[in-house]
Copies of this chain bind each other. A is one copy, B any other.
Amino acid sequence: MADKIFRVNMSDLSTRVEDVPEAWMGLGGRGLTSTIVAAEVEPTCHPLGKRNKLVFAPGLLSGTPAANSGRLSCGAKSPLTGTIKEANSGGSSAQMLARLGVKALIIEGKPADASKWYSLQVGENGVTIKEESEVVGLGNFAVIEKLNQRINDKVGVISIGPAGEMQMLAANISVKDPDNHVRSCGRGGLGAVMGSKRIKFIAVEPTDKKVEITEPEAFKAANRAFAKALVDNPISKALAQYGTNVLVNIINESGGLPTRNFTAGQFEGHEAISGETMHDTIVARGGKPKHNCHPGCVIQCSQIYADVKGAYKTSGFEYETIWALGADCAIDNLDHVAEADSIMDDLGLDSIEIPVAFGVAMEAGVLPFGDGVGVCRILREEVAKGTPLGRIIGNGAGSVGRAYGVTRVPVVKNQAIPAYDPRAIKGIGITYATSTQGADHTMGYTIATNILGVGGKVDPLSKEGQVELSRNLQIATAAIDSTGMCLFIAFAALDDATCLPSLIDMINARFGAKLTANDVTNLGMTILKTEHAFNLAAGFTNKDDRLPEFFRDEPIAPHNVVWDITDEAIDSFWNF
């Protein structure tokens, strides 16, 4: 049976199953969510109003046995940035939705009665809308526990925590993983959009159906080659051993580890929060240093971090979160960081945006730098309860800056800048400035080339070559984000000649298509241009493609460099 568009209208509580329009047939993941948002959402609409739409789409390979193909894309107009937005996540739901034949789930409208909450249940014949009260107000972990009991423990769960219910602009959307923990569509406040539509969770029914593969043998062969390229890659191996947090020492060494609200590039407490320390702590406490966030992942960069008693504390404990609470808030205590990470997962908050917001709040004097206990207290007593301070922080770094009149606010298009200082690693600054979605390292991860030496070498401190580097990576990323693949396949794709061809072979085998590498590049370019056109129609200009002025004014130690890429160079990004 051909895949379908599942459409839900929350204004009149109706649902429909529609044929996939010809133009959307070859799209999946981000390519599909961005195309649908650009086609159906008024660019100038209020992101929390009835005219915005929330779109979920599995990738082109999701649901197949392809290694690492379990990412779920979620798109909308972002209430944080005002731009188009796609965030993707691991967890089990992408593969389940794909097997149910869901090409995309489009949620539109908004209930007139704002006192009620709803859930969606997605099965192979369509979507059922039900009124919900039992789990309203609960954190993500409790929601999963209740639904495992109410439905069954194989059910897929896509939910918002209290932050999304309160429409906080840093609210994410959580996706249940195979171990009943959560992965997140983290950035851009998509949880607030789900909250505005009064949907607490989406349950995805387990199914025995399989995704149809046109040429099964060719697919199998390609998948074998692809998986081998992934597991053989040295960065894959480092990720498996230390998680993404392997980066703390590497980026600290580069002088690009933003510290104390971006006032220095190295953190004296880096050893205490490093991937090496984390690994040893996990092993000593009987946690799990290696763990997959979705079935079929062969890299396994996740881990189970245990507390001093050996009990589960958090998982998917990422470098960006650890950097933000660790270096940027100067909390040199991994247990405090893990505690905060766990609370943010439960409340459903972007664990980049919120810690960067705390860094700004620390500069404003709301709490002292280094106060990990204070961060956890504010998360529990203020953010979780929606107090005024909780809302200021829950709305992100820009919100804190505006509330307290702070001018050193690391955001682009109102989204917090993540874990790499653009003064010391200039390629990533181009990505922050030009990304169609506000500051986001995953949109064009120049760290691979600037620092890790993958896919060539571009000196991080030089002005030369950064625009081209960011452009090539942003185009490739847009394409990869459409396949359902985890972005970490990019390291192998950049360095192993067998990787990308086998990925394309899998897509061709799945659909009986004849795509070439050129087609994939064209897909990436088309996605970027579609997203950019949406933003221009929403009122964005090249004046929004700029870093905050403090990066120009304040040299950062140890290299004592400023952001010195010209506006003209930045604007040349779009010359393709």
Residues on A facing B (Cβ under 8 Å): 43-46, 48-51, 166-169, 192, 195-196, 387-389, 391-392, 395, 399, 402-405, 407, 537-544, 546, 548-549, 553
Contacts and interface: CB of A to CB of B under 8 A. Distances in A.
Contact of A388 (B168, B169, B388, B539): B388
Given A538-B543, A539-B541, A49 B392 contact: no
Nearest to A366: B388
Contacts of A546: 44
A197 to B, nearest CB: 12
A411 to B, nearest CB: 12
18 contacts: A44-B543, A45-B549, A46-B548, A46-B549, A48-B405, A49-B549, A51-B549, A167-B405, A192-B405, A195-B405, A196-B405, A387-B388, A388-B389, A388-B391, A391-B404, A395-B403, A539-B544, A541-B541
A360 to B, nearest CB: 13
Contacts of A539: 540-544
Q: Among A169, A195, A395, find the residue whose CB has the most chain B CB atoms closer than 10 A.
A: A395
Nearest to A382: B388
Q: Among A395, A399, A402, find the residue whose CB has the most chain B CB atoms closer than 10 A.
A: A402
Contacts of A537: 543
Given A539-B544, A548-B46, A549-B45, A395 B402 contact: yes
A213 B255 CA distance: 64
B403 A388 contact: yes
B407 A49 contact: yes
A402 B169 contact: yes
A160 to B, nearest CB: 13
Nearest to A50: B553
A402 B79 CA distance: 9
A524 to B, nearest CB: 27
A261 to B, nearest CB: 14
Contacts of A387: 388
Contacts of A407: 46, 48-49, 196
B49 A166 contact: no
Contacts of A388: 387-389, 391-392, 403
Q: Among A49, A192, A395, A403, find the residue whose CB has the most chain B CB atoms closer than 10 A.
A: A403
The 8 closest A-B pairs by CB, nearest first: A539-B543, A167-B405, A388-B388, A388-B389, A391-B403, A539-B541, A49-B407, A46-B407
A405 B168 CA distance: 7
Contacts of A196: 405, 407
Contacts of A43: 543
Nearest to A544: B539
A328 B127 CA distance: 42
A404 B166 CA distance: 7
Q: Among A387, A407, A538, find the residue whose CB has the most chain B CB atoms closer than 10 A.
A: A407
Contacts of A195: 405
B391 A391 contact: no
A563 to B, nearest CB: 14
A468 B168 CA distance: 41
Nearest to A548: B46
Q: Among A45, A48, A195, A538, find the residue whose CB has the most chain B CB atoms closer than 10 A.
A: A48
A49 B407 CA distance: 7
A168 B405 CA distance: 7
Contacts of A404: 167, 391
Given A538-B543, A541-B541, 18 more contacts: A45-B549, A48-B405, A48-B407, A49-B549, A168-B405, A196-B407, A387-B388, A388-B388, A388-B389, A388-B403, A391-B404, A392-B392, A392-B403, A395-B402, A395-B403, A399-B402, A539-B540, A539-B543
A169 to B, nearest CB: 7
A103 to B, nearest CB: 30
Nearest to A390: B388
Contacts of A169: 402
Contacts of A548: 46
Contacts of A50: 553
